[in-house]
Structure 1
């Protein structure tokens, strides 16, 4: 029996103006999550969507929202909450691209950017607000005239991560200020259905008007991803990373995941000192610097991006060829999101995990979660790797020196020219 062809966007109920936008953006056929979610959303149902990263879920909620905007007879507002700034910008860009022909106004509310400029954008009465919970609460507290009383659609994107990042207090505040559940629609999208997400579902969705769509198996990696490990002594991890970068960087783009901001900065400087075009992204950087680093990596100007888990979910970074886990994530689900940055949309990709003597148990849990025994990365024999030791040690020494100097400069500025200025504590995650 031959499989029936996938429906078109028009057959899902998407109006002609938005179908033209999809065609312009080369969205040729709806993805499985779009096929499952869009018709229910257009019928006015609440949605719980469970799907892998890279599955097309942004368009699955953006298209029904934009169609509602076209059909709305009264002031319309949708609120989309995201766990990270970068994902918020990406969602806003997709709304603007899909809604270019229908006059959509989009505002992005994230930390690290000017509050006044965001307040001016809010005064223009945007149709779609995309933001992180902390910054949305900041504006609810300080921006005169801003409220959520006209919100007709609420989207909680990457809901499991919103809760893992301790946004529960901000989410409770926002939910308390929204119209009641029977006066709005809610779309909750998550990679996994945890007990916290189930609790959020009960607090935000209408039980009798909710459709659950799940289009991928739980905790799976794609078949086009080649996954390997290397057992390495912890004191030689920098050498093994350098060996892998040397192996891949001439033909491939490499995304290196680490656990701490300090390691992201240190390894970026180390690789630069060795002559490799590296940039980094982590939560301690200003928003313009984070966006600048992403832009350089996306354009191919820099072929190595060193990142914390701020880059593990949702970001559309095309053509990542290799993911290297310098640090093995403590939670298996984070591993799936990290390696999901490569082998997207049917393309092939590779993931290499550096497993030290301290990581064996965590790595075995990852293998158990994904139901696979990974193969050893071919090559990378100790004798060949350790020939790099002298160069890597010198690059590491210079990197440490640069970080100390940068720390001294920051400390000097905070104790000098800025001493008379009022200080404002940044909200977590904003």
Structure 2
């Protein structure tokens, strides 16, 4: 028998757990670490953990990750680190499917690259070409754009080319291809140097994305954080079952009940989003719309008001369901049940981001039950019923119907005025450039309803 002290020394000692990875341990330089601290990024997300070390080594990356996973920093950080080492001219080009996403990517590059004075140029439709040509002449380090407008500049702007490019990023690649930018992207790829690093980020790996990968990447490393669509655990998901005829009344009841929160409301069509925003304003709620029939300045203005808190409600089409990072969204209301379950996941992904909690509430009429069941099957979770008060909703009906009639009248007048102005402006130049469908939008110019209801909420 061994002595007690001998027995104790013979026990195996468990190894100490490895410390959690940090941005520093991933190999980032001090200027970037300081910038990350300033913008409040405390620890790497899964997509950043898996992609950054390889991107810093010079590998091409395919990143498959859901919305809100930190993809922008995953490709911006290795680009900025290389730019610090070789600060030469036009360095990187990022292609994005929507104008809002392009602006958001630019903001993140400028925030993370503040210590090195990084210069970005956003090249999108809906803005005048000469102003963009001036921005390109100032030799930006990073160009972020939508494919159609970027190709316009490559073909017509003297002195602008991508021949010295070191990095190409295709962000939200599945959306880029679904929006039929394929032809413009093919032409852009032919104008790029073969010796470059390429990052392709997408929420899904479709056959089109796989084809694009083969055409543009060299021996890429595939990083897949989420292989299936899902919602985060911190999101509380509810539904409201109601008769279709009372949909407006139920909607206003929800907004009134949740009025102290920041809310994004998703509608299926541009007209519906505009209509809901007018109804809300008539009834005294601080709401602003965002949809494809608004000019670029109107859309940016709407986002700015919502982000700053001067408007508590953003009424949007699916133009805002992906890519936009609005940190302080408490609640998502699906006024219309989305036709596709993936769209539901992108919509509710606007809340409960980066570990925060949030709620989603979906209005379900007798015609939407099958869609709701399909969504529940895809996300693998049953939604709870949101408690409503039938008497309160009945009391709202008359006021809400009156507001809806006023909103319809206002939209009809605005549409007639808009068509008259368009006829006077028309000089026979023709329609949109098909390469840039999302960019070239007609300004709706719908005035706000000034008349407020005398009834109190």
TM-score by length of 1: 0.94
Asked if 1:192 corresponds to 2:207, the answer is no
How far did residue 421 of structure 1 move? 7.9
Asked if 1:102 corresponds to 2:116, the answer is yes
Name the structure 1 match of 2:245.
235
**For residues 71-82 of structure 1, what are the structure 2 equivalents within 5 Å?**
71-72=85-86, 75-82=89-96
* 1:328-350 C-alpha deviation (Å, 9 max, x unpaired): 11111111110000011111110
C-alpha RMSD of matched pairs (Å): 1.7
Please give the alpha-carbon distance, in whole angstroms, between the structure 1 residues aligned to 2:232 and 2:318. 20
* 1:228-254 C-alpha deviation (Å, 9 max, x unpaired): 1112222221111101001101x2111
Name the structure 2 match of 1:12.
26
Please give the alpha-carbon distance, in whole angstroms, between the structure 2 residues aligned to 1:265 and 1:63. 38
Name the structure 1 match of 2:128.
114
* 1:316-364 C-alpha deviation (Å, 9 max, x unpaired): 1121111011111111111111000001111111001111222222222
Asked if 1:415 corresponds to 2:415, the answer is no
Preserved contact between residue 90 and residue 162 of structure 2 (Cα < 8 Å): no
Please give the alpha-carbon distance, in whole angstroms, between the structure 1 residues aligned to 2:193 and 2:321. 33
Please give the alpha-carbon distance, in whole angstroms, between the structure 2 residues aligned to 1:194 and 1:355. 30
Name the structure 2 match of 1:372.
381
Preserved contact between residue 89 and residue 140 of structure 2 (Cα < 8 Å): no
Asked if 1:384 corresponds to 2:392, the answer is yes
* 1:53-77 C-alpha deviation (Å, 9 max, x unpaired): 2221111111100111122275442
Please give the alpha-carbon distance, in whole angstroms, between the structure 1 residues aligned to 2:358 and 2:37. 27
Bigger drift between 363-372 and 390-399 goes to 363-372
How far did residue 422 of structure 1 move? 4.9
Preserved contact between residue 322 and residue 346 of structure 2 (Cα < 8 Å): yes
How far did residue 145 of structure 1 move? 2.2
2:75 aligns with one of 32, 48, 61: 61
Name the structure 1 match of 2:446.
none
- Where do 5+ consecutive residues of structure 2 fail to align? 1-13, 440-457
**For residues 301-316 of structure 1, what are the structure 2 equivalents within 5 Å?**
301-316=310-325
Name the structure 2 match of 1:327.
336
Preserved contact between residue 361 and residue 386 of structure 2 (Cα < 8 Å): yes
Name the structure 2 match of 1:280.
289
* 1:365-403 C-alpha deviation (Å, 9 max, x unpaired): 21111111212112x244432221100110001101111
How far did residue 278 of structure 1 move? 0.6
Name the structure 1 match of 2:432.
425
Q: Between Structure 1 and Structure 2, whose CA radius of gyration is higher?
A: 2
Preserved contact between residue 69 and residue 76 of structure 1 (Cα < 8 Å): no
Name the structure 2 match of 1:132.
146
Preserved contact between residue 7 and residue 30 of structure 1 (Cα < 8 Å): yes
Please give the alpha-carbon distance, in whole angstroms, between the structure 1 residues aligned to 2:363 and 2:233. 21
State the secondary structure of the residue aligned to 2:347: helix
State the secondary structure of the residue aligned to 1:276: coil
State the secondary structure of the residue aligned to 1:151: coil
State the secondary structure of the residue aligned to 2:166: strand
Please give the alpha-carbon distance, in whole angstroms, between the structure 1 residues aligned to 2:366 and 2:17. 48
Please give the alpha-carbon distance, in whole angstroms, between the structure 2 residues aligned to 1:381 and 1:99. 51
Bigger drift between 214-223 and 127-136 goes to 214-223
Please give the alpha-carbon distance, in whole angstroms, between the structure 2 residues aligned to 1:3 and 1:411. 68
Name the structure 1 match of 2:452.
none
Please give the alpha-carbon distance, in whole angstroms, between the structure 1 residues aligned to 2:18 and 2:70. 21
Please give the alpha-carbon distance, in whole angstroms, between the structure 2 residues aligned to 1:361 and 1:155. 39
Name the structure 2 match of 1:398.
406
TM-score by length of 2: 0.89
Asked if 1:343 corresponds to 2:352, the answer is yes
How far did residue 423 of structure 1 move? 5.8
Please give the alpha-carbon distance, in whole angstroms, between the structure 2 residues aligned to 1:120 and 1:73. 21
Q: 1:368 to 1:395 in 2, by over 3 A?
A: same
Preserved contact between residue 134 and residue 429 of structure 1 (Cα < 8 Å): no
Name the structure 2 match of 1:44.
58
Asked if 1:160 corresponds to 2:168, the answer is no
- Where do 5+ consecutive residues of structure 1 fail to align? none
Please give the alpha-carbon distance, in whole angstroms, between the structure 2 residues aligned to 1:288 and 1:393. 32
State the secondary structure of the residue aligned to 1:425: coil
State the secondary structure of the residue aligned to 2:68: coil
